[in-house]
Amino acid sequence: MEMIDNVSYLFGFLGGLGLFLYGMHIMADGMQKTAGGKMQQFLSKITDNRFTAILLGAVITAIIQSSGATTVMVVGFVSAGMLSLVQAVGVIMGANIGTTITAWIVSLGTIGDSLKLFQPGFYAPLMIGIGAIFILFSKSDKKKTIGEIVLGLGMLFLGLDLMAGNIKPFTGAPIFSEAFRVLGGNPILGIIVGIVVTALMQSSSASVGILQTLAFNGVVNTAAAIYITLGQNIGSCVTAIISSVGSSRTAKRAAAIHLLFNTMGAIVFGILGFVVFTVNTKLANHTINAVEISIFHTFFNLTMTTLLYPFAGLLVKLSGMIVRGKDDEVVEAKKEPILQLDERVLLTPAFAVQSGSVEVARMGSIALKSLNAAMGAINTKSLDDLKTVAQCEQTLDDMQEALTEYLIKVDNLSLSESQKKHVNNLFNMVTDIERVGDHADNLSENAKYMIDNNLEFSDLAKEDLAEISKDAIDAFETAINASGANALGAVRRVNKLEDKVDMLEDELREKHIDRLTKGECNPQSGIAFLDIISNLERVSDHATNIAGYVKNEI
């Protein structure tokens, strides 16, 4: 019977751990949706100001409840060239501070029985019930998201209760006190245990939660808790290190910076701890509680960030010594990757959506470059411009395929209704932008035809082309740059320009046919002219489509 009871307790503990992790996942998911567009703007606000980067790293990690996930995103952004290594240092430091929020949430769930009414676990079933009602019966997207957060919190606290309750019968066993006595007396061993457990679980939040649950049951001494916590900080780097495998040399250096930062902290505090605990054995053997673990965790990360804050440049240099080789940020730019993003951002839906927006905007800028080059070839007979259009057209075709695949993956993530709507609009924008690229290619074909046949337009025709091309290209450029507070004004401007281009096309077509009838224009040039203004009118139509997608989200 005792054997069955022990197995039952084990199952209960594992079930509690599962509830804890899944609850944290659901809660973080809901918080990301609530943050919405604000979170999507975080990346653009990261500058070379390390304090800002640290603050944003802390906020992001507090929202997604995982320093590992934040660092994985940083590795992806660095790999894509969206962040420099110096900027990444600040975000990584902030991520370590942000992850302490998880420990404090766990601490709330371990308040003693004497304060039962103030213990979150007491209300966990109610929170799960309320959250489920919101999710199942509310029609409002906002209320469903609130339900996810409440449900996730309830599951998190219920999981903690299950873990604590099912580990309690074993806490009196000599193996626990002996194990923590050994770990407390050996800093290296304690740190290694923290590293291994966190690396295996791929979550410092989970390993800290288990340690705090054991501390709640009074079996963890201070020395052991300190050393294990230091190891957990190093173990949290494993996810980012795995993520950087196969990435650029620069991305590997970002992961190395994370490892360096946490390892330096573990060495400094490990040595200090060993000295203090050797002198004061009473403190070393003092039974630590969950709140005290949270206090140390927070103190450790704040202190190391303060100490290493001025040495971000040094950390970057050290990472270069660990990951040797020529700095490949410039080399990678020459390769011109199809998408300048790392799909590891899919781990965080809000950033995955934002990354998609950035890439669609980049695709738009390539189509704009192609348009300008095509008109340059028509006006100046430049062969270099024809080559530029051909290169851009191939890039746009590749980007359409890659972005469509990427956006399908993003669409399958847990997104809010507004995010889903935005992703749907991105799908449509990609199609319109690619079609603009096709029209630029058509224009370059006209330019090549004129070059091969040594054709020229009349001065009047050149003036007409300059006017309609300026308005069509202006409409497209305004559309792809329409965002933020001035989006509505940009949309209105695109619509006005499109109307003007439509009228110009009709007017210029009539005038040119009249010139052809009077024999004032070469028929071969006339065919090219009519085809050019037709393509430019179609460009303005696609600009209007893109502006319409922007308007849908205002």
Please answer whether residues 424 and 360 qualify as being in contact, where contact means their C-beta atoms are separated by less than 8 angstroms: no
pLDDT, tens digit, 9 for 90 and up, residues 384-436 = 999 999 999 999 999 999 999 999 999 998 887 888 899 999 999 999 999 99
What is the maximum alpha-carbon separation in the chain?
A: 107
- The top-scoring range by mean pLDDT among 69-78, 83-92, 464-473 is 464-473
Q: How far is CA 233 from CA 227, 264, 447, in A?
A: 10, 11, 61
Q: Which residues contact 380 (CB under 8 A, 6 or more apart)?
A: none
Least confident of 217-231, 242-256, 290-304, 361-375: 242-256
CA gap 192, 228 in Å, rounded: 8
CA gap 197, 228 in Å, rounded: 9
Residue 338 lies in a domain: no
Are both 363 and 475 inside the same structural domain? yes
Are both 201 and 299 inside the same structural domain? yes
Residue 526, helix vs strand vs coil: helix
Residue corresponding to tokens 């603009």? 436
CA gap 308, 315 in Å, rounded: 9
pTM of structure:
0.68
Residue 330 lies in a domain: no
Distance of CA 19 to the CA centre of its chain: 26
CA gap 478, 456 in Å, rounded: 31
Q: Looking at residue 373, which CATH number applies to its domain? A: 1.20.58.220
Residue 114 lies in a domain: yes
Kindly calculate the radius of gyration of the chain based on its CA atoms and give it in whole angstroms: 30
494 falls in which pLDDT band (50, 70, 90)? very high
Q: For the chain, how many structural domains are there in total?
A: 2
Residue 75, helix vs strand vs coil: helix
Least confident of 250-264, 295-309, 360-374, 418-432: 250-264
Buried b or exposed e, range 234-254, using 16+ CB within 10 angstroms: bbbbbbbbebbeebbbbbbbb
Q: Which residues contact 196 (CB under 8 A, 6 or more apart)?
A: 231, 235
Residue 327 lies in a domain: no
The residue segments making up the domain with residue 57 are: 2-322
CA gap 300, 180 in Å, rounded: 21
pLDDT for 328:
45
Position 245 pLDDT exceeds 80: no
Are both 224 and 279 inside the same structural domain? yes
CA gap 80, 233 in Å, rounded: 26
CA gap 255, 85 in Å, rounded: 10
CA dihedral 485, 340, 30, 120 (to 10 degrees): -120
Residue corresponding to tokens 């302490």? 100
Are both 443 and 541 inside the same structural domain? yes
pLDDT for 334:
37
Are both 33 and 87 inside the same structural domain? yes
337 falls in which pLDDT band (50, 70, 90)? low
CA gap 517, 110 in Å, rounded: 90
pLDDT, tens digit, 9 for 90 and up, residues 532-546 = 999 999 999 999 999
CA gap 273, 130 in Å, rounded: 45
Please answer whether residues 479 and 550 qualify as being in contact, where contact means their C-beta atoms are separated by less than 8 angstroms: yes
Are both 292 and 353 inside the same structural domain? no
Residue 172, helix vs strand vs coil: coil
Position 78 pLDDT exceeds 80: no
Residue 303 lies in a domain: yes
Position 470 pLDDT exceeds 60: yes
CA gap 527, 506 in Å, rounded: 15
Are both 30 and 122 inside the same structural domain? yes
Residue 287, helix vs strand vs coil: strand
In sequence order, what are the beta bridge partners of 221? 287
Are both 113 and 260 inside the same structural domain? yes
Residue corresponding to tokens 């003036």? 463
Residue 328 lies in a domain: no
Q: 44-52 long-range contacts, Cβ below 8 Å, gap at least 24?
A: 46/83, 46/87, 46/90, 46/91, 47/87, 48/84, 48/86, 48/87, 49/90, 50/86, 50/89, 50/90, 50/93, 50/309, 50/312, 51/90, 51/309, 52/90
Could you tell me which of 403, 497, 385 has the C-alpha nearest to residue 441? 385
Amino acid present at 368: L
Are both 95 and 155 inside the same structural domain? yes
CA gap 520, 320 in Å, rounded: 68
Please answer whether residues 372 and 388 qualify as being in contact, where contact means their C-beta atoms are separated by less than 8 angstroms: no
Please answer whether residues 396 and 366 qualify as being in contact, where contact means their C-beta atoms are separated by less than 8 angstroms: yes
Q: How far is CA 376 from CA 109, 115, 470, 477, in A?
A: 67, 77, 12, 16
Are both 420 and 374 inside the same structural domain? yes
Are both 299 and 369 inside the same structural domain? no
Q: Mean of the per-residue pLDDT values for the chain?
A: 82
pLDDT for 332:
37
Residue 335 lies in a domain: no
Torsions phi, psi for 236 (to 5 deg): -70, -15
Count of H-run helices and E-run strands, the chain: 23, 0
Are both 316 and 355 inside the same structural domain? no
Residue 339 lies in a domain: no
